[in-house]
């Protein structure tokens, strides 16, 4: 038998007989590697340890520390889950079960729902299968043969998948009695899975199609060590404490009320302060960047939305039209038509371009009942919207300015977890899009050049563009790792021709302008939600609804406390006096829980030399200093919008 040459990551190589398994190669390196290895990688292909090596080449072993290690491990955990479920519940038909970012899930079709108790039973069965240390065996089938095997087992969902996706010869994995159509690779046996937990059961749809069978999805997570698992569960608990819905109530920032309806936000005084700070900052920046601030009506004639095309492609997201004097009016789901009407109100010259119309525009969208989520997904919200009307040759400059502005937003509010996506058209289906191929090439080129020139890493997403133009999106991540879209910069090849927009060029002829939609914060509501979670409610001084609390030690110090209060007010610091009949400790505790940045304790000593004893929210007692000095410090933190101090 011929020998093959296997090269290791350190560059050394060794000969093995053809057909040697990856595991045997690992053993030749050392027993420790053989014990730790989960799978192997040949070239860029992942294989099982039981796979036979047929050709010379490099090999790499996947261990718990490899980037792919956890994913393979969790995928095998999903199989373990399915093995346990099919064993306990013969009427449960497995669908699909992949690894996810934080764990894994498996979807089952079953008439009766799984209960919490069922999850416990399943977990116990999984433990049992771990103890049995069942091998994950790979079996090859021809397509016809495979379909027959799964048909005999009554696994109609698997048959469907095989018919749709399987190669003429495909692999399946056997774990105990459970057989799954699966590409692999898998860890050698179930005995390796020690730290796992089933987390929840939720509804899903077969193949993600809403009209298809309802499925039951069991979520779980698995780690290489019990310690890692516990750390993850602890992190979930911590994240819950940052949930903006929890903090919104505890800090009295906003509410959503049954009497008013779901998805409609009430901004309480404290939330209102933060919103005003955000908006004031934004308006100043918009003005400095050559935007014009406008206001447009909240309801307009329905025919306007027919012209824009919304009644065709956006109807299911619009509130119903209302009748006024035999005419139909529509609550606005977007601001674009309003801005377009301002543009159209008179003849425009190329000298006026680019024209940047900005509005904090409140829109209403009908969201289906199951999708609302705190401030993140609502039915009424305010966008920091703007539309830039310009000539094609101005596009790139305008896009760059938008992206730079977006990054200033991220920096100002201290966001560091985000991802940038460029959504382009699907080149296979040019007929799905408005505008010509030339226009699209120009627009996609402008977007991509901008990102590349600015050295911003991004995900290129062909086929993800909306029909009217390509876009750049920036998504931020919430407390439990869910991404939320905020910033969007989008081209629009659709609306300018639909509304017959034009400008007089330097050549004296009429031309159609190009239009860019952009929102940086996205919606003020969603932005606020992400912001609350980002700071866990402990806002930097410039945003904190109450920046300073004055705490007189006893009634004797009331008049000095009052003087301190007034001096801070004159310096335009948001300050409150807490002179309730409570012990100092209790009042400090309340201020801490309200996450007030500074507490000023005043007693005899402070009254005597016009000073304050400063307590910081984060590090506690910071000693006494003259009142004037503290005010200077506070003002500086506010004026510079300091994130840390």
Of 339, 348, 471, 574, the active-site residue reads: 471
Among 152, 345, 585, 609, binds RNA (CB under 7 A): 585
Q: What are phi and psi of 449, to 5 degrees?
A: -55, -40
Q: Write out the binding residues for RNA, residues 492-511 only, by CB under 7 A.
A: 494
Closer to RNA by Cβ: residue 149 or 447: 447
**Cβ 35 to RNA shortest distance, Å:** 36
Closer to RNA by Cβ: residue 204 or 274: 204
Contact criterion met (CB below 8 Å) for 615 and 622: yes
**Rounded Cα–Cα distance for residues 635 and 626 (Å):** 14
Closer to RNA by Cβ: residue 172 or 247: 247
Among 169, 322, 454, 586, binds RNA (CB under 7 A): 586
Query: Among residues 446, 469, 352, which one has the least CA distance to residue 399?
Result: 446
365 is catalytic: yes
**Cβ 96 to RNA shortest distance, Å:** 11
Closer to RNA by Cβ: residue 350 or 458: 458
For residues 429 to 468, the per-residue mask of contacts with RNA, x marking binding by CB under 7 A and - elsewhere, is -------------------------------------xxx
Of 75, 217, 275, 517, the active-site residue reads: 517
Q: Write out the binding residues for RNA, residues 196-215 only, by CB under 7 A.
A: 200-205, 208-210, 214
**Site size for RNA, by CB under 7 A?**
72
The residue with tokens 């049992």 is: 128
Q: Write out the binding residues for RNA, residues 248-307 only, by CB under 7 A.
A: 249, 256, 258, 261-263
**Rounded Cα–Cα distance for residues 483 and 607 (Å):** 51
Closer to RNA by Cβ: residue 225 or 554: 554
Q: Does 113 sit near RNA (CB under 7 A)?
A: yes
Query: Among residues 598, 489, 592, 580, which one has the least CA distance to residue 540?
Result: 598
**Cβ 156 to RNA shortest distance, Å:** 19
**Cβ 622 to RNA shortest distance, Å:** 8
473 is catalytic: no
Helix axes 524-535, 269-288, angle to 10 degrees: 110
**Cβ 571 to RNA shortest distance, Å:** 21
Of 159, 336, 390, 402, the active-site residue reads: 336
Closer to RNA by Cβ: residue 11 or 370: 370
Q: Write out the binding residues for RNA, residues 171-190 only, by CB under 7 A.
A: none
Contact criterion met (CB below 8 Å) for 388 and 356: yes
Q: Give the chain's count of helices (H) and strands (E).
A: 20, 32
**Rounded Cα–Cα distance for residues 517 and 492 (Å):** 7
Q: What are phi and psi of 231, to 5 degrees?
A: -60, -40
387 is catalytic: yes
**Cβ 91 to RNA shortest distance, Å:** 15
Q: Write out the binding residues for RNA, residues 69-88 only, by CB under 7 A.
A: none
Q: Write out the binding residues for RNA, residues 619-638 only, by CB under 7 A.
A: 620-621, 624
Q: Write out the binding residues for RNA, residues 114-143 only, by CB under 7 A.
A: 115
| Interacting span for RNA (CB under 7 A) from 220-228, 352-360, 527-535, 594-602 | 594-602
165 is catalytic: no
The residue with tokens 């038909």 is: 93
**Rounded Cα–Cα distance for residues 455 and 463 (Å):** 23
Among 169, 371, 454, 642, binds RNA (CB under 7 A): 371
Q: Write out the binding residues for RNA, residues 547-576 only, by CB under 7 A.
A: 553-556
Angstrom distances, CA of residue 221 to CA of 81, 206, 343, 362: 11, 22, 54, 40
Of 365, 526, 574, 615, the active-site residue reads: 365
Closer to RNA by Cβ: residue 109 or 350: 109
Closer to RNA by Cβ: residue 275 or 587: 587
Q: Write out the binding residues for RNA, residues 306-365 only, by CB under 7 A.
A: 309-310, 313-314, 317, 333-334
Helix axes 437-453, 395-412, angle to 10 degrees: 40
H-helix or E-strand containing 27? helix 22-29
**Rounded Cα–Cα distance for residues 512 and 353 (Å):** 12
Q: Does 599 sit near RNA (CB under 7 A)?
A: yes
In the structure encoding, which two tokens stand for residue 375, read together? 């401030």
Contact criterion met (CB below 8 Å) for 395 and 443: yes
Count of alpha carbons within 13 angstroms of residue 217, beta-carbon side: 18
Among 45, 345, 369, 609, binds RNA (CB under 7 A): 369
DSSP conformation letters of 33-89: HHHH--EEEETTEEE-TTPBP-S-EEEEEE-TTSTTHHHHHHHHHHHHHHHHHHHH-
Among 330, 487, 488, 547, binds RNA (CB under 7 A): 488
**Cβ 410 to RNA shortest distance, Å:** 20
**Cβ 353 to RNA shortest distance, Å:** 23
Q: Does 216 sit near RNA (CB under 7 A)?
A: yes
Of 216, 330, 383, 594, the active-site residue reads: 383
Buried b (16+ CB within 10 A) or exposed e, 335-356: bbbbbbebbeeeebeeeebbbb
15: number of Cβ within 10 Å: 11
443: number of Cβ within 10 Å: 27
Among 160, 584, 610, 645, binds RNA (CB under 7 A): 584
**Cβ 383 to RNA shortest distance, Å:** 8
Among 242, 377, 625, 635, binds RNA (CB under 7 A): 377
Q: What are phi and psi of 290, to 5 degrees?
A: 80, 20
383 is catalytic: yes
517 is catalytic: yes
**Cβ 235 to RNA shortest distance, Å:** 14
**Cβ 214 to RNA shortest distance, Å:** 4
Closer to RNA by Cβ: residue 243 or 277: 243
3-state secondary structure labels for all residues of 343-371: HHCCCCEHHHCCEEEEEEEEEECCCCHHH
**Rounded Cα–Cα distance for residues 474 and 483 (Å):** 10
Closer to RNA by Cβ: residue 299 or 412: 299
Of 192, 270, 379, 387, the active-site residue reads: 387
Active-site positions? 336, 365, 383, 385, 387, 471, 517
């Amino acid at each position: 038998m011929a020998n093959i040459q296997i090269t290791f990551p350190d560059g050394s190589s060794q000969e093995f007989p053809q057909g040697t398994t990856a595991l045997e190669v690992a053993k030749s390196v050392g027993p420790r590697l053989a014990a730790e290895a989960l799978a192997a990688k040949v070239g860029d292909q992942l294989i099982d340890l039981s796979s036979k090596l047929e050709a010379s080449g490099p090999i790499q072993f996947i261990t718990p520390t490899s980037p792919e290690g956890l994913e393979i491990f969790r995928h095998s955990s999903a199989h373990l889950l399915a093995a346990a479920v099919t064993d306990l519940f013969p009427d449960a038909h497995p669908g699909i079960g992949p690894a996810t970012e934080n764990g894994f899930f498996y979807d089952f079709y079953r008439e009766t729902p799984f209960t919490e108790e069922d999850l416990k039973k399943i977990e116990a069965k999984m433990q049992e299968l771990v103890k049995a240390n069942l091998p994950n065996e790979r079996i090859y089938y021809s397509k016809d043969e495979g379909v027959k095997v799964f048909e005999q087992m009554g696994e109609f969902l698997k048959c469907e998948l095989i018919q749709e996706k399987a190669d003429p010869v495909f692999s399946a994995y056997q774990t105990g009695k459970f057989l799954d159509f699966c590409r692999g690779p898998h860890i050698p046996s179930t005995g390796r899975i020690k730290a796992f937990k089933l987390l929840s059961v939720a509804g899903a749809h077969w193949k993600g199609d809403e009209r298809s069978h309802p499925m039951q999805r069991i979520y779980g997570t698995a780690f290489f060590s019990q310690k890692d698992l516990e750390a993850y569960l602890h992190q979930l608990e911590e994240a819950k404490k940052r949930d903006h819905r929890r903090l919104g109530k505890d800090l009295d920032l906003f509410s959503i009320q049954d009497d008013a309806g779901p998805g409609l936000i009430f901004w309480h005084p404290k939330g209102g302060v933060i919103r005003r700070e955000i908006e004031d900052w934004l308006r100043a920046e918009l003005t400095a960047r050559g935007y014009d601030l406008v206001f447009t009506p909240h309801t307009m004639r329905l025919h306007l939305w027919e012209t824009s095309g919304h009644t065709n492609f956006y109807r299911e997201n619009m509130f119903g039209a209302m009748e006024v004097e035999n005419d139909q009016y529509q609550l606005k789901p977007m601001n674009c038509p309003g801005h377009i009407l301002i543009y159209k109100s008179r003849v425009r010259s190329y000298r006026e371009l680019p024209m940047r119309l900005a509005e904090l525009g409140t829109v209403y969208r009908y969201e289906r009942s199951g999708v609302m989520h705190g401030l993140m997904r609502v039915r009424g919200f305010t966008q920091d919207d703007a539309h830039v009307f310009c000539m094609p040759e101005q596009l790139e400059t305008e896009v760059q300015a938008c992206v730079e502005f977006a990054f200033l937003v991220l920096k100002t509010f201290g966001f560091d977890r985000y991802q940038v996506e460029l959504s382009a058209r699907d080149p296979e289906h040019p007929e799905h899009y408005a505008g010509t191929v030339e226009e699209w090439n120009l627009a996609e080129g402008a977007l991509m050049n901008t990102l590349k020139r600015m050295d911003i890493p991004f995900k290129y997403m062909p086929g993800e563009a909306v029909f009217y133009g390509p876009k750049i999106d920036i998504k931020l991540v919430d407390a439990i790792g869910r991404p939320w879209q905020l910033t969007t910069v989008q081209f629009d090849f659709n609306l300018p021709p639909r509304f017959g927009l034009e400008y007089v060029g330097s050549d004296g002829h009429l031309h159609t302008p190009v239009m860019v939609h952009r929102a940086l914060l996205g919606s003020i509501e969603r932005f606020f939600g992400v912001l609350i979670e980002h700071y866990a409610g402990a806002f930097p001084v410039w945003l904190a609804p109450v920046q300073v609390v004055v705490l007189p030690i006893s009634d004797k110090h009331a008049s000095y406390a009052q003087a301190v209060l007034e001096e801070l007010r004159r310096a335009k610091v948001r300050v409150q006096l807490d002179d309730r009949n409570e012990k100092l400790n209790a009042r400090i505790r309340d201020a801490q829980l309200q996450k007030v940045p500074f507490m000023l304790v005043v007693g005899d000593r402070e009254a005597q030399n016009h000073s304050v004893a400063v307590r910081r929210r984060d590090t506690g007692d910071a000693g006494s200093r003259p009142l004037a000095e503290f005010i200077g410090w506070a003002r500086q933190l506010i004026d510079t919008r300091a994130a840390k101090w």
